[in-house]
């Protein structure tokens, strides 16, 4: 499981994305789960990071899901029309 930090804004986005992509590359399972439950401070950059991580996972044939997405970020994703791309863990 890949874990997002407490704060993910524009300032942390590049470093966080690099960390997630590195984790994705060494992840051996067929599905990738990102745990967003620790996130308390975020902006739309968090969505960009998640969507890029999803894109990369799908490009190498893995499934992608998000666990613990904060309600405010889920609402933001819906507002931007990308809510269905951030599948919750079932």
Give tens-digit pLDDT for 13-39: 999 999 999 999 898 899 999 999 999
State residue 7 phi and psi, 5-degree precision: -125, 130
pLDDT (0 to 100) of residue 38: 96
State residue 51 phi and psi, 5-degree precision: -65, -35
Domains within the chain, CATH numbers bracketed = 2-85 (3.30.750.24)
What confidence tens digit (pLDDT) does each residue in 42-71 have?
A: 999 999 999 999 999 999 999 999 999 999
């Amino acid at each position: 499981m890949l874990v997002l930090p407490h704060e993910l804004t524009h300032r942390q986005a590049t470093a966080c994305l690099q960390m997630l992509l590195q984790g994705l590359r060494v992840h051996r399972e067929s599905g990738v789960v990102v745990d967003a439950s620790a996130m308390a401070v975020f902006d739309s950059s968090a969505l960009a990071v998640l969507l890029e991580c999803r894109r990369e996972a799908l490009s190498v044939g893995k499934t992608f899901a998000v666990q613990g997405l904060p309600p405010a970020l889920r609402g933001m994703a819906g507002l931007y029309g990308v809510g269905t791309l951030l599948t919750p863990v079932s």
